[in-house]
Chain A
Amino acid sequence: MDEPALSAAGVSDLAFWIAVPALALGTFLLRYALIGLIADRPLPPTLARALEYVPAAVLPALAAPLLLYDETGALQSDPAKLAAIAATLAVGVATRSLLWALFAGLGALWVISALLA
């Protein structure tokens, strides 16, 4: 490829082309594991429960630093972003719907941003 190792926004092409094919293959194996490979054995109950909690832990852990701190590392103070967090939490807990929570959060982000602009 002709491109430099770092694209304009600072994404490493090398890290991308190592991580993404590996992630694609690994994710296929996670999908295929029990349909195809060890179909006759149920998971040990503790392992099954641990698997159940993985997304519940990982997704908030991914989101928290990005939501709670701004680019400089200070606590989040952008009113539009704080409103987006509140709207996502309120609608997500009330409806238990990813779709509505996402719409509420992004709607609040963009409406408040526009009002303050």
Chain B
Amino acid sequence: MAQRRGAEKPVSMRSAIVAGLLGILPTQAFVAPFGVLNGAIAAEAGLDLLQAMALSGLVFAGASQLSTIELLSAGAPAVVILAAGLAINLRFTMYSAALAPWLRSAPAPWRIGAASVLVDNNFAVAVHWYRAHPSAAPRLRAAYFIAAGLLNWLVWITATWAGFALGATLPPEWKLEFAAPIAFLAMALPLLRGRPAWTAAAVATVGAALLKDLPYGIGLLIASALGIGAALLVDGARPGADEPAPDPEMTHG
């Protein structure tokens, strides 16, 4: 620490927590309405309040929550629901890889705490803060992450509850059943940078449309695997491919 940068103030535990709370705050403009939508869709699909809150509180990942609700409504077996949800949430492992250099020397409880609340938007703001404060101790980095993540989680479950209460009162003319697939599409589009990603999306779309009459979930898994394989083929044509660069500000959950 002898060579602390002149411009950088030393970071205290308190200032790390405050910075985490303030850093995540603007992103709540998205988290809150998306949580409300998730809760409303859960109510529309016939989940009870306990189920809706368990989904948001324990899984805490919007896209996989919506896929779980869709597949449950379609009567898919639990193993397909699980496989689809885990496939959607695989991106957290990429974030986990990117966070490891910053957090791996923090004590285990701090790392577990940080991992528990890891989603797209706190990953994005945390990496930004870590780069701006390179001298912050690993424990303080974890504190930043946990403070941001807990606020995020509280807003998410509160919004889910509000949306659930609202959802039961929404008229069928609102076609709320169409909100989930629109949300999937809206989540996918910001991820489509470069030919391999577009190839993955195009192949998976055509495959899923053609295989739609397979028991729901099976076609999804086959089409997704075909899409990923096609992307790797296209990607393999450029050996110096960039390292994976998640674009976490674009999506949540």
Determine if A30 and B93 form an interchain contact, defined as CB atoms under 8 angstroms apart.
yes
* Binding site secondary structure of chain B: helix
Interchain Cβ contacts within 8 Å, total number: 312
Whether the pair A15, B72 counts as a contact (CB closer than 8 A) is yes
B154 at the interface (CB under 8 A from A): no
Q: Which of B44, B185, B227 contacts A67 (CB under 8 A)? A: B185
Report the bound CA distance from A73 to B216 in whole Å.
13
A20-B244 contact, Cβ under 8 Å, with A28-B116, A96-B190 = no
Q: Please state if A27 and B190 are interface contacts (CB–CB under 8 Å).
A: no
Which residues 24-73 in A have Cβ within 8 Å of B in the complex?
24, 26-28, 30-36, 39-40, 42-43, 45-46, 48-69, 73
A52 / chain B contacts, CB cutoff of 8 Å: 91, 94, 197, 244, 246
User: In the bound complex, how far is the Cα of B38 from the Cα of A7, in angstroms?
Assistant: 18
A10 to B69, CA, bound (A): 11
Given A35-B104, A54-B224, A81-B178; A92-B231 close (CB under 8 Å): no
Indicate if the CB atoms of A54 and B228 lie closer than 8 Å.
Answer: yes
**What 0/1 pattern do residues 59 to 91 of A give for CB contact below 8 A with B?**
111111111110001000010110011001100
Q: Is the pair A61, B208 in contact by a Cβ cutoff of 8 Å? A: yes
On B, residues with C-beta under 8 Å from A are: 29-30, 34, 37, 44-48, 51, 54-55, 58-61, 63-64, 67-68, 70, 72-73, 75-79, 81-82, 84-97, 99-100, 103-104, 108, 111-112, 114-116, 118, 173-175, 178-192, 196-198, 200-209, 212-213, 216, 219-220, 223-228, 231-232, 235, 241, 243-244, 246, 250-252
The 16 listed contacts between A and B (C-beta, < 8 Å) are A26-B85, A27-B64, A31-B93, A32-B116, A40-B104, A52-B91, A56-B200, A57-B228, A58-B84, A60-B208, A64-B212, A88-B182, A98-B186, A101-B189, A106-B182, A113-B173
